[in-house]
Amino acid sequence: MTDGVAGTQSLRRARSGPAAAPDRDLLLIVLTVSSGAVDAISFLALGKVFTAFMTGNLVFLGIGIGGPGGPRLAGPLVSLAAFAAGVLLAGVVTGAGRTSRALALAAGFEVAFLLVWVSVPGAPGDTALDLLIGLSAVAMGLQSGAVSTLGVRGIVTTAATATVITLMAGATDRTDTGERVRLMQVLAALIAGAAAGAFLLDHARTYAPVLPAGLALVAAVGFARADPRPSRSRRVPAAG
């Protein structure tokens, strides 16, 4: 009887625990495709600014400060501030392994971006431009903060520098094949997402953000299904 109860409890823990590695890796790839499309859209349509890749914004900011010919300073500044706010917000809403909370909120910001984008339609003025940059960057900050809690080495889904470093360092320290494949898949996903975002901007501009928003929603649902469920205490009736 005791063995049966223990087995049932173990099964429940397995079902309610964090996403198994193959499922988690697939969802990370989905998020990376989404962020690749986000950055393609932001760079090509929001005034040469990134809303996921913050290193690029720091460079743009330096170019803008250093002399004429650079991008307007407002774009990188809004993006950096909004991204930082998103990361902080992810830290607040993500707790007890509930990664999906931050990812669901990120997907909500991407849907808000889509609604504003469609309302303009796909041709924002200066005010709408900064609003769109802010919405997108908050979403990417939330996503980055959520993914960082998973502790997957070399993967943040919104930038590739750490992924390339981890992949190449693994070539010398004999990183296992599964990890190398995962890292290469993430790099390919970022390229594929950027290509898809650029293609949609060229052929279906008004609805281009549907792709990253839809993928973000899919990933949020996937992580929600795997997040640990809070245990519910059951009252045991007293013996009569």
SS (H, E, C) 134-197: HHHHHHHHHHHHHHHCCCCCCCCCCCCHHHHHHHHHHHHHCCCHHHHHHHHHHHHHHHHHHHHH
Query: What pLDDT is recorded for position 95?
Result: 72
Query: What pLDDT is recorded for position 216?
Result: 97
Residue 205 DSSP one-character state: G
Query: What pLDDT is recorded for position 235?
Result: 42
Mean pLDDT by 10 residues, the chain (240 residues): 44 47 90 97 95 94 83 92 97 81 96 97 92 98 94 90 89 76 94 98 96 97 79 44
pTM of the model: 0.84
